Structure 1
Amino acid sequence: MRHRVNPTSTPWHLASTTRDTVGECPVWHVATQALFWVDIEGQRIHRLDWASRQQASWSVPERVGCIAMSTRGTVIAAMESGIFELALTDAPTAQVTRLATVAHPQANMRFNDGRCDAQGRFWAGTMVQDMRLASPAGGIYCFDENGLRGPLLQGYITPNGMAFSPEGNTAYLSDSHPTRLKIWQHSFNGTDGSWGPQVEWVNMAEHPGRPDGAAVDADGCYWICGIDAGQLHQFSPQGELLQSIALPMSKPTKCAFGGPELRHLFVTSLQPAAPTQGFDASLDGALLVLEPGVQGLPEPLFSRFPVR
């Protein structure tokens, strides 16, 4: 039985001046009061300065799946061939330094979703870029002072939805491929970075949309984009659907809390191959911001650089 909550309408604002091909991985940087996000297919990194509302963009040499801010003020980026450090100085080209190279088990793969844990490690999942192949060659990798390790978890087609509970002892992962549609919980040991067994937490086949990128609020609730359905879902720590928020575009991709008090929620999106009936095609690929009435958590910084 499909369990549905009637989606609510929450006021939103357009935050970006561009439209991304595949907008993803918004990350709020507390120190600079700015939001960073990526356009995977456009091979760009964007920054939105909160005070001025000005947007800047930098090009990168590969598709970039996910990013994290570092204690050095740089961006750590998981791209197609490895992990890179980006210095975003004068636009439009980032200064790129390779930190690690990944040995993909299959051709035509790249990194996808990921983020830092509270201890400053960078976690990122990989996928075969052609989702039509439904290849379970994706895995979860860790980058820290020991370099790039993994895959530590395996068997994913399109790994997504990575997030950590406020206490840091629970990790979330999803697989957004149409044949999977699951969100899992793992116990997580922040001391040594180990993951416990995979436990099914939410079956997204019972809810509108496929599970894409996610964030956790200060109360431990899990917010995830329901891609294809144009909705944003909030689940309690027990996995109960608390609310669904209707969005004006059909393919929201990932959400992140930000703003001066972490009470704004930023949502990236992608451009579908064809306009979707019932949605505003002019907003496909846009970055939106809304105020859902809850507070988020500061995004951890990457701090565990390998010793060269």
Structure 2
Amino acid sequence: MSVAVRAERLDAGGRATVGECPVWRAEEGALYWVDIPARRIVRLQIASARRTEWTFAEQVACFAFDAAGRVVAGMESGVFGVSLQEAGDARVVRLAAPEFPASGMRFNDGRCDRQGRFWAGTMVQDMSLASPAGALFRFDENGTLSAPVVEGLITQNGLAWSPDGRTMYLSDSHPQRRLVWAFDFDPDSGTPGAPRVLADLRHYAGRPDGAAVDADGCYWTCANDAGRLLRFTPQGKLDREIALPASKPSMCAFGGSDLSTLYATTIRPVMNATEDDGYVFALNAGVQGLPEPDYAGMLPVA
């Protein structure tokens, strides 16, 4: 069902090249996100429209907070602990690194499961190679990076968990895949079962990018290249579709005082970019979201 919703462009947040990983920080009334090629984390304090940015030596693709406000992040060479300073400075220490099976790889989409383990996937940055060298990793509360948990991914994306934490969602947004999978998930061991297809976006417009799960247990995916947000029920039925002004939405997250605002980051394409591409948008999707879990471990930030 297509729903007409006004999407507000957050001009104060600035314009990204590849905006990704929006994270609502309730304690600050602030939305955080990354601009991957700019190697930057951005914060926008919503009430004051104050913007702060932190720039790093490597590209930052995904991150999550711990209870103390420190950050665990998936970057180019591994998983890092980050302490963001108010002046725009940051202290960074590498915590773990996988053995990349190909050159030109980095982490991509990631977040914490309901138990506070940080998950992130890898990809070959040159998507034209269509290399299935990507994998999904688990960084647990003890600071241990797993072996690949899911392998054979081209462009890992769409990671999310059901409200009870017993279903894990994952997508591959490469044009040759365009699939969203659901996995039965053991919350005690942090182990997914066999995948089943939740949604095949070859039957819809766009490619499945970053995602969020709402309080009803429905899965929202950004339909990249189609300028749409799509909501699928746990049974895989498309029951809501919202158009955005930007053509390449990249990831969405719920925020605001009651988690009823849906924020969406977007990508500014190299060719034929519109005036809206690259900005963050806010809208009322008519449903509440879930709090983003904190990372449960201790981050040894220098």
TM-score range, shorter chain: over 0.9
How many Å separate the matches in 2 of 1:16 and 1:301? Answer: 28
Residues 183-221 of structure 1 deviation map (CA, whole Å, 9 limit, x = unaligned):
000011111101100111111101111000000000001
Gapped runs of 5+ residues in structure 2? none
Q: Please, which of 45, 53, 60 is the counterpart of residue 57 of structure 1? A: 53
**CA apart distance, 1:146:** 4.5
- Normalising by structure 2, we get a TM-score of 0.96
Aligned residue in 2 for 1:204: 201
Shift of 1:306: 7.0
Which residue number in structure 2 is paired with residue 215 of structure 1? 212
- 1:184 corresponds in structure 2 to 181
Q: What is the CA–CA distance in structure 2 between the aligned matches of 1:72 and 1:104, rounded to whole Å? A: 31
1:84-163 aligned within 5 A? 84-144=80-140, 145-163=142-160
Contact in 1 for aligned 2:95/2:143 (Cα 8 Å)? no
How far is 1:31 from its partner? 2.2
Amino acid at match of 1:11: R
Where does residue 273 of structure 1 map in the other structure?
Answer: 270
Q: Cα deviations across residues 20-68 of structure 1 (Å, max 9, x unaligned)?
A: 1100000112222211100011110011112322111110111111111
Distance 1:237 1:30 in 2: 27
Contact 2:134 2:151 in 1 (8 A): yes
Aligned to 1:168, which of 165, 170, 185? 165
CA distance in 1, matches of 2:225, 2:122: 21
2:15 pairs with 1:15: no
The answer as to 2:80 corresponding to 1:47 is: no
Aligned residue for 2:296?
Answer: 303
Residue 92 of structure 1: how far off its partner (Å): 3.3
Match of 2:228 in 1: 231
Is 2:249 aligned against 1:252?
Answer: yes
The equivalent of 2:239 in structure 1 is 242
What are the superposed Cα offsets for residues 119-156 of structure 1, whole Å, 9 maximum, x if unpaired?
11000000000000000000000112151112111000
Q: Give the aligned partner of residue 287 of structure 2.
A: 294
- Aligned equivalents of 1:45 and 1:242: distance in 2? 33
Shift of the alpha carbon at 1:13? 1.1
Q: Quote the Cα distance in structure 2 between the aligned partners of 1:121 and 1:51.
A: 31
Question: Once the two structures are aligned, what percentage of the paired residues are identical?
Answer: 49
Q: How big is the shift at 1:16?
A: 4.1
**Mean CA deviation greater in 28-37 or 154-163:** 28-37
Q: Distance in 2 between matches of 1:305 and 1:109?
A: 27
Aligned to 2:276: 283
Aligned length: 299
Partners of 2:259 and 2:228 in 1: CA distance: 21
Amino acid at match of 1:282: E
**Structure 2 Cα separation of the partners of residues 221 and 272 of structure 1:** 29
Q: Distance in 2 between matches of 1:305 and 1:186?
A: 28
Contact 1:16-1:55 at 8 Å conserved across structures: no
Q: Per-residue deviation at 1:87?
A: 1.3
Is the contact made by 1:60 and 1:93 (CA closer than 8 Å) also made in structure 2?
no
* Residue pair 2:74, 2:80 contacting (<8 A) in 1 also: yes
